[in-house]
Amino acid sequence: MESVIVAIDGPSGTGKSSTSRAVAAALGLSYLDTGAQYRAITWWMTSNGVDVQDPAAIATAAAKPAIVSGTDPANPTITVDGVDVTGPIRTPDVTSKVSAVSAVPEVRARITELQRSIASSAATGIVVEGRDIGTTVLPDADLKIFLTASPEARAARRSGELKGTDVAATKEALVKRDAADSSRKTSPLAKADDAVEVDTTDLTLEQVIECVVTLVEERRCATENTENTENTEKPAAR
Ligand code: DC
């Protein structure tokens, strides 16, 4: 079976992470959470006294942290300078600062390079989730999915994940972060022209996973059929 690269983009609360992990696990692919990488570099900036409101300071420090992502969908890991930051990168403090840090072009260049290198070394293929994967990081991905959902549905899901948080406050924070991520100059959150849009508002997680698994399998079949046709059309070698 050919290696396959799947890009899954969309705003937060659309079920991107759960879907991407489950699809990767179901199809025996690697999995990369690129949001975790931006959170990890944000965590490093705040832990090392870099002012996240100072783009020049962030740009200067962007190359310093060593960020390593484990790509097993059953156990995705992330370390910064050897420290496991799986928990610390999910704090409200990091969440409130990550848009500012990820808007800095030097940060994006650094993390994009890391993402391309991870994707190119995944033997059976990989599911990469983020905001700019289909548009910028992996424009030649075999399949691009753009997940959407109403702001209400997204806020309700995020509040459920962060048990006990106020849905209205979560919605406000989420809409604010989306606006920042969509309006930044360098590789904003955007749907690629050739991405398949899936509105998850009225779908269960299982339905979204099934839908994406089917799309990957269809794409794999289409690719294999094209290759077989090309092979049979080639003149026999002498
Ligand atoms: O998916 P997440 O909520 O963990 O992402 C955290 C932030 O990282 C998000 O607000 C924007 C940024 N991000 C990005 O700019 N580009 C990506 N490919 C992934 C995430």
Instruction: Compute, in angstroms, the gap from residue 202 CA to the centroid of ligand 1.
Output: 24
For ligand 1, is residue 42 a contact (CB within 6 Å)? no
Instruction: Compute, in angstroms, the gap from residue 157 CA to the centroid of ligand 1.
Output: 17
- Average pLDDT per consecutive 10 residues, the chain (238 residues; last block may be shorter): 91 94 98 98 98 98 98 98 97 95 98 98 96 97 97 88 80 90 93 97 96 94 76 56
pLDDT computed for residue 144 by the predictor:
98
Q: What is the number of the ligand 1 atom nearest to the C-alpha of 98?
A: 7
Instruction: Compute, in angstroms, the gap from residue 186 CA to the centroid of ligand 1.
Output: 13
Which architecture characterizes domain 5-219 according to CATH? 3-Layer(aba) Sandwich (3.40)
pLDDT computed for residue 166 by the predictor:
84
pLDDT digits (tens, 9 = 90+) for 190-223: 999 999 999 999 999 999 999 999 999 998 888 7
Say what the pTM is. Answer: 0.92
Instruction: Compute, in angstroms, the gap from residue 34 CA to the centroid of ligand 1.
Output: 7
- The domain spans of the chain are 5-219
Structure-block tokens of residue 149: 């959902």
For ligand 1, is residue 112 a contact (CB within 6 Å)? no
For ligand 1, atom 18: residue with the closest CA: 130
Structure-block tokens of residue 123: 């033997």
pLDDT digits (tens, 9 = 90+) for 151-160: 999 998 888 7
Mutate to test the pocket of ligand 1, among 38, 113, 189 (most ligand atoms within 8 A of CB): 38
For ligand 1, is residue 130 a contact (CB within 6 Å)? yes
